[in-house]
Amino acid sequence: MKLSSSLKAAALAACSTTAASADTIVDIAAGDERFSTLVAAVTAADLVETLQGEGPFTVYAPINDAFAALPDGTVETLLQPENKDQLTNVLLYHVDDRDLPAAAIPMGSNYFKPVLASERLCITKSSDGVMIADGTGEMATVIIADIKADNGVIHVIDKVLLPGTRPACH
């Protein structure tokens, strides 16, 4: 999946900060090329200002390869203005309105409520790490935990979380 150069540039410009600014979740993502697709999506959904807000937030942030693994055309379709509501729902499924560092996630499997209030995630923490089941029943793996921001924390994941059926949470 390739984003146009102008879309990438617009997304980064919309998220750039001055030296006096705090390092919010959006600022950190915008400064890391691994999140360029996520930044473009947050920009298209008009969520930049929200995620630069006071928080606290925990964001399960998919890397570019996670977006690229979606069926062909999915990202491009979601980025179209007429699909803004659907894109917003997908993105809010990746956000918790608490500061949830990895140490605060209990061992075992537990339901967590993302900002997308009608949905649930099943987060499983074990000695092997942290996995997240989404509405498709598929699992994302936290590949980097606890990137601290001034308004919360980022956990980097290897899959785009998709709403749907409440995942089984043993």
Full set of structural domains in the chain with CATH: 25-157 (2.30.180.10)
Q: What are the pLDDT tens digits along the chain (170 aa)?
A: 444 443 444 444 444 433 344 599 999 999 999 999 999 999 999 999 999 999 899 999 999 999 999 999 999 999 999 999 999 999 999 999 999 999 999 999 999 999 998 899 999 999 999 999 999 989 999 999 999 999 999 999 999 999 999 998 87
Q: Measured between alpha carbons, how far is 1 from 134 in angstroms, rounded to an integer?
A: 22
* pTM given for the model: 0.86
Beta-carbon contacts of residue 37 (< 8 Å; ≥ 6 apart): 1, 3, 62, 64, 67, 68, 75
Burial 46-59 (b: 16+ CB within 10 A, else e): ebbebbbeebbbbb
